[in-house]
């Protein structure tokens, strides 16, 4: 079965886990560790920077679906030539940290141009909805993505400087993206993936909110020990696999906060 078909199967089963290496992570040694951890941890996919060498390292060190992320349509089209399984408009966190804010217009135009460049190539496409815009704008953009034929929508939280300053907990970081997932998943029929602050504790909440997939990054790529990285991925995948029980526990804990 093709890698992307496995990912699609996990989407249908609402248990897909994508490990995010980072849109601006060009450290090949780090990318290799993350790819190996994603593979050994039984993740569904890995998301890497849209770079020839980075993509090569990811493909050589895991047999998962490889996503390439960028906001440059031409780079995304080149990634398809390099054999990635999926392309993604986003993730935007790296740009927020530089003080760059992505607008609704920007995301839509990037997505439209990217789809034009890869037209007829049967490419799986994911598009990220900026978490800092108002909910009605997010829903409107999600519906436009659906009309375009996007395969997967990714939700995110808002940048810290927009969303009330630095976050104190990972649960708080995840709260915004889960809220966005809840609202958007009610409005579109295509799958939704939650990313930003997702951990083994918040993953069940994302699926309870209607997600078909989660994207996990910082809780894994901030680690350096390969054993810890694999263990973290497996803990998240395990929490998802048994999300029927985990959801009840996570919701009870959330209500007590």
Confidence category of residue 2, pLDDT binned at 50, 70, 90: confident
Return the pLDDT at 163.
Answer: 52
Q: Quote the pLDDT of residue 159.
A: 67
Number of domains in the chain: 1
CATH number assigned to the domain comprising residue 195: 3.20.20.390
* Helices 243-256, 226-241: crossing angle, 10 deg rounding: 100
The span from the CA of 19 to the CA of 36, in Å, is 11
The predicted model scores a pTM of 0.89
pLDDT at 252: 47
Q: Which of 210, 195, 243 is nearest to 19 (CA)?
A: 195
Q: Is the pLDDT of residue 45 over 50?
A: yes
Straight-line distance from the first to the last Cα atom of the chain, in angstroms, rounded to the nearest whole number: 43
Percent of the chain exceeding pLDDT 70 equals 88
Q: What is the 3 state secondary structure string of 47-106? A: EEECCHHHHHHHHHHCCCEEEEEECCHHHHHHHHHCCCCEEEECCCHHHHHCCCCCCHHH
pLDDT number for residue 243: 56
Residue 101's domain spans which residues?
3-256
Segment 187-229, tens digit of pLDDT: 999 999 999 889 998 999 999 999 999 999 989 988 999 999 9
């Amino acid at each position: 079965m093709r890698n992307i078909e496995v990912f699609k199967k996990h989407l249908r089963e609402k248990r897909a886990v994508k490990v995010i290496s980072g849109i601006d992570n060009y450290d090949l040694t780090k990318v290799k560790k993350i790819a190996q951890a994603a593979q050994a941890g039984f993740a569904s996919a890995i998301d890497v920077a849209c770079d020839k060498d980075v993509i090569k390292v990811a493909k050589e060190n895991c047999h998962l679906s490889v996503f390439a992320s960028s906001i440059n349509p031409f780079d995304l089209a080149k990634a398809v030539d390099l054999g990635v399984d999926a392309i993604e408009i986003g993730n935007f966190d790296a740009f927020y940290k530089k003080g760059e804010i992505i607008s609704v217009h920007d995301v839509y135009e990037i997505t439209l141009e990217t789809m034009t460049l890869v037209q007829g190539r049967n490419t799986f496409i994911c598009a990220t909805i900026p978490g800092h815009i108002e909910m009605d704008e997010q829903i409107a953009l999600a519906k436009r993505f659906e009309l375009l034929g996007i395969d997967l929508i990714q939700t995110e939280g808002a940048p810290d400087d927009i969303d009330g300053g630095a976050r104190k907990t990972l649960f708080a970081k995840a709260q915004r993206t889960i809220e966005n997932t809840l609202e958007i998943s009610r409005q579109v029929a295509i799958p939704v993936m939650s990313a930003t602050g997702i951990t083994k504790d918040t993953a069940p909440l994302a699926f309870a909110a209607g997600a078909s997939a989660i994207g996990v990054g910082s809780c894994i790529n901030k680690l350096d020990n390969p054993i810890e990285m694999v263990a973290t991925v497996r803990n998240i995948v395990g929490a998802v696999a048994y999300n029927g029980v985990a959801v009840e526990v996570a919701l009870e804990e959330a209500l007590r906060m």
